[in-house]
Structure 1
Amino acid sequence: MEAPGSPLSGIKVSSETGLLKRLLIHSPDKGLGKVVPSKAQDWLFEDIVHLDTMRRDEYDYYVKILLYFLDPEKVAGKIKQIDSDASRSFYIPGHKNYFDSDRVIDIQNLLGQILTEEQVRIKLTAAICGIERCSYQIQQELETYEAHELAKIFISGSCPDKRMLFAPLPNLIFMRDIGIVINDHILLNKPAKSARTRESILAQFVFFYHPLFAGMKEKVIEIPDNERHFLLPDEEKANDHNRCTLEGGDVMMVAPSHLLIGCSERTSVYAAQQVMNILFEKNVVDKITLIKIPKKRDYMHIDTIFTQVRKNTWVLLASLARTGDNAKLKDALHYFAAKEANQEFRILKFTKGREQQPTEIENLEDLLADISKNDLGCEEAVQFIYSGNNEFPYGEREQWTDSCNLLAIKDGVVIGYDRNDKTLEAFKSHGYAVISAKELIAKFECGELSPVNISDTFITLPSAELSRARGGSHCMSMPLLRV
């Protein structure tokens, strides 16, 4: 890691499209290969994926693209050598051939590093065994494993001899959900489902004990529990006023002074209110906009509905873009269908010092245009690129496979899936180049293109298996530093 005071020291994210310098990821681990149909729903995983294809043919391209932009010395001129290794040792934390970047960072590697400290190891093992109800014998067995092997077990749930000690964490590839950097603070999640509790504990230990986050303990924000929740009848606990749950896919740092929080099936209004109170009290941001979306599996988080491409450009689902604008409604059928579909959609903007007088914003496009113009100072016209090119039925079809869930590496350069053809057509019509990760890497290798000079580009990832997991490149990242 860089020394304090170096250009890459510190943790700070103040936008969605600033130049990405450091992020957390997690490569698909063997736990994904242990998901069975009877438990998929309990483990919050959408489908049964082919792990080897997901790794070799899809996610590995994601890692190489990120390294080429953020830490090119790790991959430049080495792609053939990396690809020829059947063992994939380049991608395995703890292996001597691991890429071990301090800019593209796998949380499993950080976990392995902190587990070399005896006191951390004892505390974390006890915590995991407690929530997983492990026997004393299992706890004793875990003490015998080397640190990086133990990190693998904590994540995958499986021992080297293939025994499953506890459930896998297939959702850990979606690193966005464990937390989010808000300026120079880190907000930890509070998962809605018990299947993700172990993820939260692992993240908590990494953020509090790893040297990368040294000196940040006072800037790590944990949402307090709702004490009333424990006293309520079971049927009332699911109410948004009583639940206290939040996931990072519902939080977007869109400008230095402005944070968006989605209220969804995974993030409650109560938790959003608690976060708002804390951030205003700590003077972390001046404005927080709550976006209440329908609690439908189609959406889950706000980053499945929209993400930012450039300061003046957003990709979004058209059916939720202008829910209150009757001028957009073409006929009676459209009118009633839209009203029924969007009855839970609402946007409220809160300003520090005037929390009791929020401003209601009727349409998502109006909110996003205001962010581009007034928060980010864009003088160019604000552009909207629609999922499926706003053609029926492709808008909803492609949103389901994460057409709106894009990670900006820098302003105007994004990573997304290759399968959303109509959305890619829309990007091309707005002047964006569309290039596959494989082709781009080849052009980088021969010097035809450079990560430094590339602009207005959509980089496509192979996605036959990744898209079955119901999360895109935005979900698969937790930016730690943007400049």
Structure 2
Amino acid sequence: MQTIANTTSDFIRVSSEIGTLRRLLIHSPDRGLGKVVPSKAQDWLFEDIVNLDMMRRDEYDFYVKLLLYFLDPDKIKGRVANLAPGTDRGFFKPDHPDYFASEKVIDIQCLLSDILADEVIRTKLIAAICGIERTSFKTQQQLTSVDPVELAKILISGSLPDRTMLFAPLPNFIFTRDIGIVINDHILLNKPAKQARTREALLAQYIFFNHSLFADYRDKIIEIPDNEHAFLLPDSDTARDLSRSTLEGGDVMMIGPRHLLIGCSERTTLYAAQQVMRLVFDKGVVDTVTIIKIPKKRDYMHIDTVFTQVKRNVWVLLGTLARTGDEARKQDVMHFFAPKDLSEDLKILQFRKGQEQKPIEIENLEDLLANISRNDLGATEPVTFIYSGNNEFPFGAREQWTDSCNLLALKDGVVVGYDRNDYTAEAFRQAGFDVVTAAEVLDRFERGESSPEAIENTFIMLPSAELSRARGGSHCMSLPLLREGF
């Protein structure tokens, strides 16, 4: 069992979306993903069922190797052998003896295994999960005798090694961004909107409050309170989100050293956004909070599905929620898909600490993002926008659905996305970026023709036939713990 230890004084700090990534949490696809069946897929927040072996071997394996090369190269150099599709390139889960045990690219399953070695924590967590999942007392007793590594796999996947299912899997656990977010040196624990993710939130809570990695930060963990009177309200009111406190990490971006973005979406309520704003202002964590209301549509889900940052002065975003200046193209989209311009459903309010009653309304995403580039991050070059699908109908909407706007910045100007979004890739080329596959980048690194330090202005494409079925991109599949500051 790999035990992760905190060996640095500055283990956690994130003050931008584009500072060089130094440490993050991931969760590689587990056996629970192979348990999703069509009749339950939507209940478990999936649009489709996936080929687990292909997702692991031909897709996610590239993601892990890229992360290791950028964050912990000694763990991977010389070990990227055969990059041909369909070959075994060494995908290993944390319990495998050949797993690339890294203290910089950390699988959350390792952390769960670590805390389950403590008998008290183990007993409490098993009881809590068995209560949530309404299992029999016999099952609860059975789990107490399982070793910590296997128990972590069971609590995540919902199944025993012999494939017997005890409760539902957690197929969304690969999207570690949604369970928490680092805001400077604080950790915000999120509250998922859907019942299918309740167990994820509980596991995250136990890990952050009990693992030694976070011992120095326990007084800096922020939990979002519920409305204490919500249980008294009619069901019709709570169903309309008037009092619910739900928030997921895809709706939170630490965009600058003192500036936090919070989206109000299908998954995050205005009540929760207001509570987070109050807490971060009271704790002095940031000075500015911008709340972005987007349409409550499954198409969008979180703000990081409609825009992410590429470089200090470059952003990728969805044109139909932006001011693109191409009204004819917008009319095409309206004619086929919407009764009105979708950008009318966008509302942006910016709040400054001490002036919460006087928010500033910002008209459009481009103005907001350009202001962040210039004022929060000190960009001196012109601010550039790259639009999903190159803003061509209908590819903007099609490629946004497969996460063209959901990119993870490994460093300023170097981002990871999916290879299936051809028109978005062309937009990157037109903006002066090198567009290369993950296999090509790894091959260059292995041959010594390039390096993570030398590479710049690059869009790295992950193979994504199966990953894209899960409805989340590289931004969703990461929980940055440490980035170099701006």
- TM category (shorter chain) comes to over 0.9
- Separation in structure 1 between the aligned mates of residue 471 and residue 120 of structure 2, nearest angstrom: 37
Q: Name the amino acid aligned to 1:13.
A: V
> How far apart are residue 379 of structure 1 and its match?
0.6
RMSD: 2.0
Look up the match of 1:222.
223
8 Å CA contact 1:89–1:95 kept in 2: the answer is no
Contact 2:416/2:474 (CA < 8 Å) preserved in 1?
Answer: yes
Q: CA separation of 1:84/1:37 partners in 2, compared to 1, >3 Å: closer, same or farther?
A: closer
AA of the residue aligned to 1:236: D
Distance 1:52 1:277 in 2: 44
Larger displacement relative to structure 2 (206-215 or 356-365)? 206-215
Shift of 1:240: 3.1
1:54 is matched with: 55
For 2:480 and 2:263, the matched residues in 1 are separated by 18
1:409-456: CA deviation from partner (whole Å, max 9, x where unpaired) = 000000000000010001011111011111111111111111111100
Measured after TM superposition, the shift of residue 284 of structure 1 is 0.4
Whether 2:327 is the aligned partner of 1:329: answer yes
Distance 1:84 1:432 in 2: 25
8 Å contact from structure 2 (residues 190, 201) kept in 1:
yes
CA distance in 1, matches of 2:108, 2:98: 17
What whole-Å deviation, never above 9, does each CA across 1:314-340 have from its counterpart, x for those lacking one? 0000111128xxx65349956896845
The alpha-carbon distance between structure 1 residues 2 and 233, as it changes in their structure 2 partners (threshold 3 A), is closer
Give the Cα separation in 1 of the matches to 2:390 and 2:91.
38
Deviations 1:120-157 (A, max 9, x none): 11111111111011111101110111101000000000
Residue number in structure 1 paired with 2:244: 243
Aligned equivalents of 1:47, 1:88: Cα separation in 2: 26
Contact 1:90 1:99 in 2 (8 A): no
CA shift, 1:226, in A, is 1.1
SS at match of 2:472: coil
Query: Which residue is equivalent to 1:419?
Result: 420
Partner of 1:375: 376
Q: Which moved more, 1:372-381 or 1:225-234?
A: 225-234
Distance 1:45 1:231 in 2: 32
C-alpha contact 1:264 1:294 (8 A) present in aligned 2: yes
Q: 1:85 to 1:73 in 2, by over 3 A?
A: farther
| 3-state SS, counterpart of residue 149 of structure 1 | helix
For 2:273 and 2:54, locate their aligned partners in 1 and report how far apart those are by CA, in whole Å: 38
Give me the whole-angstrom Cα distance separating, in 2, the residues matched to 1:479 and 1:339.
Answer: 37
Distance in 2, Cα, partners of 1:46 & 1:345:
25
* Structure 1 residues 61 and 228, CA gap change in structure 2 (3 angstroms): same
Question: Residue deviations 1:369-426, cap 9 Å, x none?
Answer: 0000111111110000010111111111110100000000000000000000010001
Deviation at 1:227, TM superposition (A): 1.8
Equivalent position of 2:204 in the other structure = 203
Distance in 2 between residues matched to 1:478 and 1:81, nearest whole Å: 29
Answer yes or no: is the 8 Å Cα contact 2:158–2:168 preserved in 1: yes
Q: Deviations over 1:170-224 (max 9, x none)?
A: 0001111001000000001101011100000000111011111112111110001
Q: How far did residue 90 of structure 1 move? A: 5.5
User: Does the CA contact (< 8 Å) of 1:82 and 1:90 recur in 2?
Assistant: no
**Contact 2:320 2:330 (C-alpha < 8 Å) held by counterparts:** no
After superposing the two structures, state which structure 1 stretch, 84-93 or 21-30, moved more: 84-93
Q: Deviations over 1:221-261 (max 9, x none)?
A: 00011122211111111223311100000000100110000
Unaligned runs of 5+ in 1: none
- 1: CA distance, partners of 2:321 / 2:339: 9
Of stretches 195-204 and 442-451 in structure 1, the one that deviates more from structure 2 is: 442-451
Residue pairs, 1:38-437, within 5 angstroms: 38-80=39-81, 91-322=92-323, 329-330=327-328, 333=331, 339-437=340-438
Per the TM alignment, residue 82 of structure 1 is displaced from its structure 2 partner at its CA by 10
Look up the match of 2:29.
Answer: 28
Separation in 2, partners of 1:412, 1:2: 31
**Counterpart secondary structure, 2:409:** strand
Secondary structure at 1:296's aligned position in 2?
coil
* Paired residue secondary structure (2:61): helix
Name the residue aligned to 1:37. 38
- State, as a whole percentage, how many aligned pairs show the same letter: 67
Between the aligned partners of 1:315 and 1:85, the Cα distance in structure 2 is 31
Paired positions, count: 478
Q: Is this contact kept in 2: 1:90–1:97, CA < 8 A?
A: no
Shift of 1:343: 3.7
1:94, distance to aligned residue in structure 2 (A): 2.3
- Which whole-Å CA distance do the structure 2 matches of 1:84 and 1:365 have between them? 39
Find the aligned partners of 1:270 and 1:103 in 2 and give their Cα distance. Answer: 35
| Distance change >3 Å, CA 294–CA 203, structure 1 → 2 | same
Query: Which residue number corresponds to residue 448 of structure 2?
Result: 447
Separation in structure 2 between the aligned mates of residue 339 and residue 253 of structure 1, nearest angstrom: 31
CA offsets, 1:349-378, max 9 Å, x none? 000000000000011000000000111111
Aligned to 1:79, what secondary structure does the other structure show? coil
Distance across 2 between alignment mates of 1:332 and 1:401: 20
Shift of 1:342: 3.5
Structure 2: gaps (5+ residues): none
CA 1:55–1:333: 2 relative to 1, 3 Å: closer
SS at match of 2:151: helix
Distance 1:86 1:211 in 2: 38
Query: Deviation string for 1:29-60 (max 9, x for gaps)?
Result: 11011001111111111111111101100001
Query: In structure 2, what is the Cα distance between the partners aligned to 1:5 and 1:170?
Result: 32
| CA displacement at 1:344 relative to structure 2 | 2.5
SS at 2:468 equivalent:
helix
Aligned partner letter, 1:453: A
Give distance in 2, aligned partners of 1:141 and 1:239.
Answer: 41
TM-score normalised to structure 1 length: 0.95
Q: 1:400 to 1:83 in 2, by over 3 A?
A: closer
Gap change, CA 1:227 and 1:68, over 3 Å in 2:
same
Cα gap change, 1:340/1:388 in structure 2, threshold over 3 Å: closer, same or farther? closer
Are the equivalent residues in 2 in contact too, given 1:294–1:343 (CA < 8 A)? no
Structure 1 stretch displaced more, 472-481 or 85-94: 85-94
User: Structure 1: which amino acid aligns with 2:196?
Assistant: A
Corresponding residue SS for 1:227 = coil
Amino acid at match of 1:309: V
